[in-house]
């Protein structure tokens, strides 16, 4: 099985790179999917392609439609979905993806600091793993693919 | 068809009552479902039933499991899902329910003030209606069931 | 089994009434669903409930969202879908409903004059019955429910 | 993910070629599917293979069956469905495909001039993108696959 | 649970009556569905409603379409499917219904004499019960609903 | 929503009665389903209805087929599945039902003493609640239906 | 799309070879699946692998189980299902496969002489093409894959 | 078709190796999946990756979550599921997998000694083959893929 992993959520830190690099270092053969992480492109894609729109609501609506073609298709094509909640912003989009993945029966990994535990309790309950660090996600994927556990001491 | 409507999200204002009362006043025959809205009961249900748990994370986990029996069953049994995002709190649970409903193909109505428009753009894109006031949800449901439009001037 | 029948398509002739009356006269116990057939209400429902919209495209978009809550829910809840193509207008909505019903595996009856046969050949191929007159739809439903055939000579 | 795109609808202009060429020029790796666009072959395939049929209705019925093997299989195998409505003809087949794709949950792009906006409002509401020009579809696909936006000024 | 049972297959002996009477005598609350068992009506329903058709193939085609609205809907609405193969005729329709029910995951009971065992081995393998007499089907349904076994000695 | 609960597993203690009585005492409106709990009838139902079978394997096979009509239908018709693992026997059937329910996405409650925790860890991971006593299941169901928590002190 | 075609039914004439050779001659890239067509092996596979069984019914049951692993898997993995009814035998297995394929929504081609038309009318109604000769199936597949029609005069 | 086979259940004997070696010797092209069979790693994976947990129940819970990502994904990606019940331990996990596979409609092969026949009768009834030795599973897979039967005398 050629595993595919969707990385949803926060776009302002390097968590995606840390997971991708860690998996590459571990020699894991998997493919990562995710949303467009260029914030400006993601916001502007609707009007940049389809033409200007006066109201911000419709500008967002156009862009969200274009983004949804990518995100829903890739999420549905993934074997595992990782959803990252960072320390800032409302990140409703991440929670929406988690709910979407849960309803599709996708194995779900959440990744967030302890401070969000209570607010995320329903989301975490739908997950098979709640991780704190990207490196733990790497370890989970290595175990899932290869059955090997980390030698390094856990944080 | 006997319509059922799931009311998800914010539990600190009277929006559910306004929708239920408005529909009753309009003579609409529908059934409303939703989560347990007693905040303390919702937080404590796990340990109150299954016994004390030392760590907050596992206390939340137990409670979220009990709540999920109710919320997923009722949401899946509903014909329309309304998700309310209020002015406070992170409300990831609401966004999770919206994603869950969207993946199931449920008609989705979001209800929130304009200030959240940009943050909710992906969620709104998955909705068939974005409403601002509970009374607009009543009007949508009346039209959906009876085909009649409101006489009163719109806000 | 308590049969439900969705009547989709043309809204400018009395074909729905002829089917409903014919079934009532035949003593058939079934429930009819359909879109809101008040043309003005159907066009205006979005802005009438959600507030004015400058561009016609977005006005239509709002209204189509509200209508879709009704039409998709009722169509999905139906046992049989009848789609009527009249002599005028483009009626893409009717063909859309036919495709939607076909993908859901709903038994489909199309109802249209011979002049549309060639243009509707793919739609008709997905149907189990192609009828010319509403009274034939009544006869089909009577046979499906009661197993009795019409005594009157066929047109 | 190796993307596949189904191009449904109008067969009398060069819109398919413009999309395919544009995507090739952009270096996008995707596969295009669609119906047989040789109008005469599409009309005659039933009787040419299965033998002559007296009535036009049954000739069309035979041909539509043969075509449906191709079109439904390819549409169901596609990741994205683009439906083009041209300036002429009734094009019920295109609307049928749009409804079929919508019911399957396929991301849908419609492509048509503004003059059809009102007649297509329900179809457009089920789409994630409404485009006016084939080049906009190319831009959407490039963004979806590569995350890049067009440099050229929008029409 | 209010059980519904679809009785498919042979229409020339009284097996349906024996099952229905036996269940009534046992006080079981269930509903029986099945095809139209008036052979002439079943053959003629297409042309009787939709008008004459010259070729026998198309006459059959019209009739089979009308019958399919009834049979597929009722079979899909059933909790248990009983398929009877009698001593005569090819009864491909019965085997088709068995395959249809099996693919839907419906609990399947076949009912046929031993002489057909070898020819029906694939069909029987998909069944949960292979019965020889209608009274055995009654006994199965009584056990399934009430948990009681027959007092009378088995044939 | 009229809730139905399937009670699977151990048949040698009174846990079903304790749950049913407790729910009745709490005034909860729900329906309980389950397998035939008369051990002898459950073992003999195949040969008692369909006639004697020499080999024990085939006797069991016949009986399991008859039982499966009941158990799969009722389990699939249930909103919540409770699986009880007692102190004796292998109870593979209970674990099979748990897996079946999990794959269908049914909310799952397991009920077993702590001594089985390690052996049941995969089954428990698929459950939303792990209970120790039937009265806890009653409390969960009361909360799920009515939102009320138990007043009595927890064991 | 890499097409796969399941060839179900009659095993005593060379119709499979004629279709496979015809498609090879036409340069079509497709893969053919089907049951084991060695009649003796198909009958004996159960007892040959799992050990002798006294009763013919159980011998058949064992063999049908082994065959079902192959046939259901390959049929479900196919894009098109062709079912051949020959001039002899009851061929309930072929009709079962047709029903199974129809319930899965697979495009179905039946292949049989006119003499079976009336007996197969329900099966044919579920098919998109009714062919008389294997060469017509080749022509259909060529058109479906390549869009080209046969030059040779039709029989 | 490139077959994949999931090998679930007992991890203390060499049955997996015997099946994999036998299939390799027979020249069968298939891929085997299964759980992590290193007992200690499987038990510890949760805390080894996610950090220590005081209560054994939660330690097991963490580990079962990590394992479930692997086992559910691979089981769902398999064409055939083989479940082995050995002579010791409770093996509820194996029965859970069998139920999970059955609900997904996966062809199921059980593998166990006769002494478990009665306790496994419901599980066996859901299987297409009940084997006693790993070599019989090899023979079944060879027949399913190649249509050839074993030359060697059966045990």
> Which tokens is H128 given?
């297409």
Task: Tell whether E108 lies on the interface with H, counting CB pairs under 8 A.
Answer: no
Comparing alpha-carbon positions, the chain H residue that sits nearest to E125 is H128
Size of interface G-H (CB pairs under 8 A): 65
Q: Pick from C105, C125, C128: which is nearest to G105 by CB?
A: C105
Task: Tell whether G98 lies on the interface with E, counting CB pairs under 8 A.
Answer: yes
- 8 Å CB contact of B139 and C49: yes
Q: Pick from A41, A51, A69: which is nearest to D147 by CB?
A: A41
- 8 Å CB contact of C66 and B148: no
- Counting as contact any 3 or more CB pairs under 8 A, the partners of A are B, D, F, H
Angle at A72 between CA A66 and CA A78, to 5 degrees: 140
User: What pLDDT, on the 0 to 100 scale, is given for residue F87?
Assistant: 82
Query: Which stretches of B1-150 are DSSP H helices?
Result: 15-25, 39-50, 56-76, 92-103, 121-125, 134-146
pLDDT (tens place) for every residue of chain D, 155 residues total? 999 999 999 999 999 999 999 999 999 999 999 999 999 999 999 999 999 999 999 999 999 999 999 999 999 999 999 999 998 878 999 999 999 999 999 999 999 999 999 999 999 999 999 999 999 999 999 999 999 999 755 44
Question: Which of A120-124, D27-31, F149-153, H139-143 is least confident?
Answer: F149-153
Non-local (6+) Cβ contacts of G154 within 8 A are D48, D49, D50, D51, D52
User: What pLDDT, on the 0 to 100 scale, is given for residue G155?
Assistant: 47
Q: Pick from C107, C130, C148: which is nearest to E73 by CB?
A: C107
Query: Does residue B155 carry a pLDDT above 70?
Result: no
User: What pLDDT, on the 0 to 100 scale, is given for residue E17?
Assistant: 98
What is the distance in angstroms between the Cα of C154 and the nearest Cα belonging to chain B? 34
The three-state secondary structure class of E139 is helix
Non-local (6+) Cβ contacts of H33 within 8 A are A1, H4, H5, H6, H7, H74, H75, H77, H78
Size of interface A-B (CB pairs under 8 A): 123
Long-range contact list for D50-59, CB < 8 A, 24+ apart? D50/G129, D50/G130, D50/G131, D50/G132, D50/G136, D50/G154, D51/G154, D51/G155, D52/G154, D54/E54, D56/C117, D56/C118, D57/C114, D57/C117, D57/C130, D58/E58
Instruction: Quote the crossing angle between the two packed helices D39-50 and G134-146, to the nearest 10°.
Output: 170
User: What pLDDT, on the 0 to 100 scale, is given for residue G23?
Assistant: 98
Concatenate the DSSP letters of all residues of A82-143 into one string. Answer: EEE--SSS--HHHHHHHHHHHHTT--EEEE--GGGTTTTHHHHHT-SEEESSHHHHHHHHHH
Strands (E), D57-146: 80-84, 108-111, 129-131
For residue G46, give the H/E element and its range. helix G39-50
Distance of CA H150 to the CA centre of its chain: 23
For residue D77, give the H/E element and its range. none
Give the mean model confidence (pLDDT) for residues H86-108.
94
Nearest to G122 by CA among E84, E47, E71, C140: E71
Q: Report chain C residues whose CB lies below 8 A from the CB of G128.
A: 125
| pLDDT tens string D72-108 | 999 999 999 999 999 887 899 999 999 999 999 999 9
Pair F110, F124: CB distance under 8 Å? yes
Query: Does residue E153 carry a pLDDT above 80?
Result: no
Q: Pick from H127, H129, H149: which is nearest to G41 by CB?
A: H149
Query: Does residue G65 carry a pLDDT above 60?
Result: yes
Task: Tell whether G154 lies on the interface with D, counting CB pairs under 8 A.
Answer: yes
Backbone angles phi, psi at A33, to 5 degrees: -120, 165
Size of interface F-H (CB pairs under 8 A): 123
Q: How far apart are CA H103 and CA H84, in angstroms?
A: 18
Q: Report chain F residues whose CB lies below 8 A from the CB of A104.
A: none
Nearest to C109 by CA among C87, C78, C88, C74: C78
Give the mean model confidence (pLDDT) for residues A40-44.
96
What is the distance in angstroms between the Cα of H4 and the nearest Cα belonging to chain A? 9
- Give the CA-trace dihedral at A107, A112, A116, A118, to 10 degrees: 30
> Which tokens is B79 given?
């014909």
Place of tokens 């799969």: F72
Task: Tell whether F121 lies on the interface with A, counting CB pairs under 8 A.
Answer: no
| pLDDT tens string G91-125 | 999 999 999 999 999 999 999 999 999 999 999 99
| pLDDT tens string G5-50 | 999 999 999 999 999 999 999 999 999 999 999 999 999 999 999 9
Q: Pick from F61, F102, F119: which is nearest to H90 by CB?
A: F119
| pLDDT tens string A48-91 | 999 999 999 999 999 999 999 999 999 999 999 999 999 887 89
Angle at D108 between CA C96 and CA B5, to 5 degrees: 70
Q: How far apart are CA F99 and CA F63, in angstroms?
A: 21
User: What pLDDT, on the 0 to 100 scale, is given for residue C88?
Assistant: 81
What is the distance in angstroms between the Cα of A125 and the nearest Cα belonging to chain B? 6
Confidence of residue F151 (pLDDT cuts 50, 70, 90): confident
Task: Tell whether G151 lies on the interface with D, counting CB pairs under 8 A.
Answer: no
Pair G76, G104: CB distance under 8 Å? yes
Q: Report chain E residues whose CB lies below 8 A from the CB of G124.
A: 60-61, 64
Cβ density class G61-97: b for 16+ within 10 Å, e for less: bbbbbbbbbbbbbbbbebbbbbbbbbeeebbbbbbbb
Q: Three-state SS across chain F? A: CCEEEEEEECCCCCHHHHHHHHHHHCCCCEEEECCCCCHHHHHHHHHHHHCCCCCHHHHHHHHHHHHHHHHHHHHHCCCEEEEECCCCCCCHHHHHHHHHHHHCCCCEEEECCHHHCCCCHHHHHCCCEEECCHHHHHHHHHHHHHCCCCCCCCC
What is the distance in angstroms between the Cα of G4 and the nearest Cα belonging to chain C? 21
Which residues of chain C fall short of a pLDDT of 50?
Answer: 154-155
User: Do the chains D and G touch each other, judged by at least 3 C-beta pairs below 8 angstroms?
Assistant: yes
Q: How far apart are CA H82 and CA C149, in angstroms?
A: 53
Q: From the candidates D38, D45, D49, which should be mutated to test the interface with G, based on the most G CB atoms within 10 A? A: D49
Backbone angles phi, psi at B119, to 5 degrees: -65, -25
Non-local (6+) Cβ contacts of E24 within 8 A are none
Q: Can you list the domains of chain F with their CATH numbers?
A: 3-36+78-146 (3.40.50.450)
Query: Does residue H154 carry a pLDDT above 60?
Result: no
| pLDDT tens string E27-82 | 999 999 999 999 999 999 999 999 999 999 999 999 999 999 999 999 999 999 99
Give the mean model confidence (pLDDT) for residues F68-85.
98
Query: Does residue B88 carry a pLDDT above 50?
Result: yes
Q: Report chain E residues whose CB lies below 8 A from the CB of H104.
A: none
Q: How far apart are CA D47 and CA G58, in angstroms?
A: 47
User: What pLDDT, on the 0 to 100 scale, is given for residue D155?
Assistant: 47
> What is the pTM (predicted TM-score) of this model?
0.97
Greatest extent of chain D over all pairs of C-alpha atoms, in Å: 56
Greatest extent of chain B over all pairs of C-alpha atoms, in Å: 56
Confidence of residue H88 (pLDDT cuts 50, 70, 90): confident
Task: Tell whether D64 lies on the interface with C, counting CB pairs under 8 A.
Answer: yes
User: What pLDDT, on the 0 to 100 scale, is given for residue H82?
Assistant: 98
Task: Tell whether D51 lies on the interface with B, counting CB pairs under 8 A.
Answer: no
- Per the prediction, chain C carries an average pLDDT of 95
Query: Does residue B97 carry a pLDDT above 60?
Result: yes
Confidence of residue A155 (pLDDT cuts 50, 70, 90): very low
Q: How far apart are CA D11 and CA D67, in angstroms?
A: 15
User: What pLDDT, on the 0 to 100 scale, is given for residue E152?
Assistant: 57
Comparing alpha-carbon positions, the chain C residue that sits nearest to B126 is C65
What is the distance in angstroms between the Cα of F69 and the nearest Cα belonging to chain B? 24
Q: How far apart are CA C141 and CA E52, in angstroms?
A: 19
């Amino acid at each position: 099985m050629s595993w595919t992993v969707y990385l949803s959520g926060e776009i302002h830190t390097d968590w995606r790179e840390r997971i991708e690099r860690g998996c590459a270092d571990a020699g894991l053969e998997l493919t990562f999917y995710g949303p467009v992480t260029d914030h400006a492109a993601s916001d502007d894609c609707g009007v940049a392609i389809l033409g200007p729109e006066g109201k911000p609501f419709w500008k967002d609506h156009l862009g969200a439609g274009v983004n949804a073609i990518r995100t829903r298709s890739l999420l549905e094509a993934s074997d595992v979905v990782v959803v990252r909640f960072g320390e800032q912003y409302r990140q409703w989009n991440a929670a929406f993806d988690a709910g979407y993945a849960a309803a599709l029966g996708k194995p779900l990994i959440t990744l967030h600091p302890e401070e969000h535990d209570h607010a995320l309790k329903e989301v975490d309950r739908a997950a098979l793993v709640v991780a704190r660090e990207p490196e733990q996600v790497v370890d989970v994927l290595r175990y899932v693919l290869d059955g090997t556990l980390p030698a390094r001491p856990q944080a």
